[in-house]
């Protein structure tokens, strides 16, 4: 089946790679549904990655993001990220990357025009609408940092559960899904919407790359049981 999917890649004029946390697993980044460790072991990510959790205990949620940032700072893109970026460089405009990941590894691998639906963990923004006093000069260090004048908190610039996805990114991803001949759905459990919905609304054929069953298997034209770092270099080679 993997040879057939490689033929689909070769024949496709427009390809979308829709990636999830599994894309970064072989870089050493635990997936979103891997068990949380330490202080956060008793929580599920859906409980921590929310505005409600952050407002209830800013320090605890901020520390969880700091731990993840440190971990991501120590890893590098894997062969799967690199194969996607290399394909884009060899075939400009033929492959679009739509990712649910916030780790920036597609971008660091050299992929262009990455549509990061859930934001970027490396960046912060103000929790409440910033006032004139909320400037870099008024930033007071802390867990989390805050505006020394009005107390406005800094928060990770990611999309929390219950928050809208960035409209421009989502619209571009929906357009890419509608226009593609082939969507490679890589390393995602297919649980989180509206991102997972792209695999159901695409015009193109759907091929899943995942060592385990996913919520999207029923929507796939092909399911390749394997890892992204081992399969993508094969599927994307000319």
Catalytic residues: 118
Q: Would you call 83 helix, strand, or coil by DSSP?
A: helix
CB of 213 vs ligand BV8, minimal distance in Å: 8
Q: Which is nearer to ligand BV8, 122 or 179 (CB)?
A: 122
Shortest-Cβ-distance residue relative to ligand BV8:
22
Shorter beta-carbon distance to ligand BV8: residue 131 or 143: 143
Phi, psi of 56 (to 5 degrees): -75, -35
**Residues facing residue 147 across a β-bridge:** 139
Minimum CB distance to ligand BV8, residue 80 (Å)? 7
Continuous segment of H or E residues that includes residue 233: helix 228-235
Which of 77, 73, 70 minimizes the C-alpha distance to 23?
77
Count CA within 13 A, CB hemisphere, residue 58: 14
Find out whether 202 and 178 touch, Cβ atoms under 8 Å: yes
The residue ranges that bind ligand BV8 (CB under 6 A) are: 20-22, 25-26, 31-33, 46, 49, 100-102, 118, 158-164, 187-189, 191-194, 209-212, 214, 227-228
Residue 91 CB partners (closer than 8 Å, separation 6+): none
Kindly give, in sequence order, each residue whose CB lies less than 8 Å from that of residue 149, ignoring residues fewer than 6 positions away: 131, 133, 134, 138
CB 29 to ligand BV8: min, Å:
10
């Amino acid at each position: 089946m993997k040879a057939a999917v490689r033929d689909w890649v070769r024949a496709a004029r427009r390809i979308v790679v829709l990636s999830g946390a599994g894309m970064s697993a072989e870089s050493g980044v635990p997936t979103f549904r891997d068990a949380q460790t330490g202080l956060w072991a008793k929580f599920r990510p859906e409980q921590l990655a929310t505005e409600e959790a952050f407002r209830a205990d800013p320090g605890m949620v901020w520390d969880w993001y700091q731990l993840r940032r440190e971990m991501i700072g120590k890893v590098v893109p894997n062969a799967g990220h690199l194969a996607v970026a290399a394909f884009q460089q060899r075939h400009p405009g033929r492959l679009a990357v739509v990712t649910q990941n916030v780790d920036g590894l597609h971008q660091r691998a050299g992929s262009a025009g990455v549509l990061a639906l859930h934001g970027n963990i490396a960046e912060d923004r103000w929790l409440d609408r910033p006032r004139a006093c909320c400037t870099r000069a008024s930033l007071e260090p802390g867990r989390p940092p805050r505006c020394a004048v009005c107390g406005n908190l800094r928060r990770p610039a990611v999309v929390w559960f219950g928050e809208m996805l960035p409209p421009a990114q989502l619209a571009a991803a929906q357009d890419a899904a509608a226009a593609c001949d082939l969507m490679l759905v890589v390393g995602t459990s297919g649980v989180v919407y509206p991102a997972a919905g792209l695999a159901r609304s695409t015009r193109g054929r759907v091929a899943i790359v995942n060592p385990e069953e996913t919520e999207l298997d029923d929507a796939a034209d092909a399911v390749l049981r394997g890892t992204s770092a081992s399969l993508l270099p094969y599927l994307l080679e000319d």
